[in-house]
Amino acid sequence: MLRPCRSFRPAFVGLHPLGGPRSRVPRRSPATAAATPYKPPSEEIASEGLPSEVRQRAETAILKRGGAVTVGDVAAVAGISLKEAEDALRALASDSLANLKVSDEGEILYSFDPNFRDRIRNKSLRIRLESTAAAVKDTASYLARVTFGTALLASVVTVALAITVIASSGNQSNDRDRRGNGGYYRGGPQFYFNITDLLWYWNPRYSRARQPSAAKGQGGMNFLEAIFSFVFGDPDPNIAFEAQRWEKIGQYIQSRGGVVAAEELAPMLEGQVGNTTSIAVDESYVLPVLTRFGGSPVVGQDGEILYHFPTLQQTAAAQRLPAVQPELVQERPVQLTQANGGQKLVAIALGAANLVGVVALGGMLGSPQGYYALARNGLGWIPNAMPFLQAYAFSFFAIPALRALSLRARNAGIEARNQARLAASRRLRAPDPQLATKLRAAQVEAQQRSFQRDRVVYATDTPLPTSSRDEPDETLYAGPWLPNRPTVCAVELSFYSHAKFWHPS
């Protein structure tokens, strides 16, 4: 059990895990210490400051590696940058009371309990509500899609009703004119429309067989969703492409010992592999990988240009990680709609009927008799709604037409990138002699370093040695314990400039 601290509160400043600046806290007199009692640091949840996606991907990476990870492990498995991985590990370790081990070479190992995510969620209401917020967002998106589809049906019914009312009113007026002129009207039974006739369909005693639901589309959507899909399209099929690609790149680099050639990464990037026999080879497509994973170019023994990622070489695994083969990463073309053929046909038919009806109704409202007929039947609000009905009817076909033009150019770019990756993958599977020599040189330079647990000089779950001095100096030191560095209080030493991380073993 670690010893509790004295009654003063150390003022920490930007500590570095390996010998950063130490905070100096002057000793206070007993009277001052008694007058100002110790106040524990505020309980702030460091994980709440992380982007949700970064935190979730880091948590998944920790679980995949069994709870013991390095910064390189999390960056490689999650596909996030080194800075994001380091910030995420610090925050998650602080909130879940994880253990740290530091080797004499300055390497840091984070050890998390299997239930570390539950610990964090028990502390943070905001993180617990993330799943609820996501469910609410999905529900709102679904309601928006269904509402747009319902609006088409409502528009068709409204326009048809208005046209029927105006046409029926005109027929009644013509009949009255004929009778008023003394003429005798001959004809079959006539139908005179009244708005109250619609109540017959709402009679609770009227029953009929329930109609089967609309056929499911390719994406499992109902007909109302298919209407929205026809006009506005569907979610991007490549929305997770970037995250999955970076995960594959990071895991591949780490499995290859942290040293790779550009041609090995080309099947997962946008760059076209150049000719290795030419004087100038364009390998600029590797720059995003170097920036994300802290890599740098190196020259091999025979003058080959290789790329070295020292942080990804460090892993918590006791044995060498199995080699991962370079995987071809392809984007999927974006479709105009994922609705099936029947749903698209019905949606187009309804949209065309609505457009024709809106145009016809606009012509009928050119005379005052149309306004009077609608007002007499309680539909006087329809003329005021005509701008909205017209905008809906015309945009129903204008928006898909514009989307079709933009998707043609977008899919052409996707196809070009896919072909470049495919060519790079084929060349890597059957390398020429020069490329084969380059790949062998990368494996010679590769090195995978496992964390040396027998060389640990500091661990949060191990009691720290006490100082041999009876009385402390006038200046007290706060910082991680390393050889030849005095330590006063293990509970309030921190790698993260705050004390709440430390806990008794």
Judged on CB neighbours under 10 Å (0-12, 13-18, 19+), 481 is middle
Tell me: pLDDT of 181 over 70.
no
- Tens digits of per-residue pLDDT, 40-78? 444 689 999 999 999 999 999 999 999 999 999 999 999
Contact criterion met (CB below 8 Å) for 233 and 403:
yes
- Tens digits of per-residue pLDDT, 471-487? 444 433 334 434 433 33
Q: What is the mean pLDDT of residues 334-348?
A: 93
Tell me: pLDDT of 348 over 50.
yes
Residue 274: what pLDDT?
47
Instruction: Please list, in sequence order, all residues whose beta carbon lies within 8 angstroms of the beta carbon of residue 146, skipping any fewer than 6 positions away.
Output: 222, 224, 225, 228
Residue 458: what pLDDT?
84
pLDDT above 90: percentage of residues in the chain:
52
Tell me: pLDDT of 309 over 70.
yes
Q: What is the mean pLDDT of residues 137-142?
A: 91
Least confident of 84-88, 104-108, 126-130, 275-279: 275-279
Least confident of 138-142, 175-179, 420-424, 453-457: 175-179
80 phi, psi to nearest 5 deg: -100, 165
Cβ burial 203-235 (10 Å sphere, 16+ → b, else e): eeeeeeeeeeebeebebebbbbbbbbbbbebbe
Q: What is the mean pLDDT of residues 241-254?
A: 94
| Residue whose structure tokens are 């910082």 | 479
Residue 244: what pLDDT?
93
| Residue whose structure tokens are 């800075």 | 83
Nearest residue to 59 (alpha-carbon basis) of 110, 98, 108, 116: 116
Residue 171: what pLDDT?
57
Residue 17: what pLDDT?
44
Of 319 and 448, more confident: 448
Q: What is d(CA 479, CA 14) in angstroms, rounded to the nearest whole number?
A: 10
Residue 105: what pLDDT?
83
- Tens digits of per-residue pLDDT, 90-106? 999 999 999 999 988 88
Residue 462: what pLDDT?
74
Of 179 and 355, more confident: 355
Confidence of residue 281 (pLDDT cuts 50, 70, 90): low
Q: What is d(CA 189, CA 172) in angstroms, rounded to the nearest whole number?
A: 13
Residue 20, helix vs strand vs coil: coil
Residue 73: what pLDDT?
95
Residue 213: what pLDDT?
38
Q: What is the mean pLDDT of residues 296-313?
A: 90
Q: What is the mean pLDDT of residues 405-414?
A: 95
Tell me: pLDDT of 500 over 80.
no
Confidence of residue 503 (pLDDT cuts 50, 70, 90): very low
Tell me: pLDDT of 466 over 80.
no
The torsion region of residue 444 among left (phi > 0), alpha (psi -120 to 50) and beta comes to alpha
Q: What is d(CA 93, CA 111) in angstroms, rounded to the nearest whole number?
A: 8
Helix (H) or strand (E) holding 103: strand 99-103
- Tens digits of per-residue pLDDT, 210-236? 333 333 334 468 889 999 999 999 999
Cβ burial 95-119 (10 Å sphere, 16+ → b, else e): bbbbbbbbbeeebbbbbbeeebbeb
Tell me: pLDDT of 272 over 60.
no
Residue 322: what pLDDT?
79
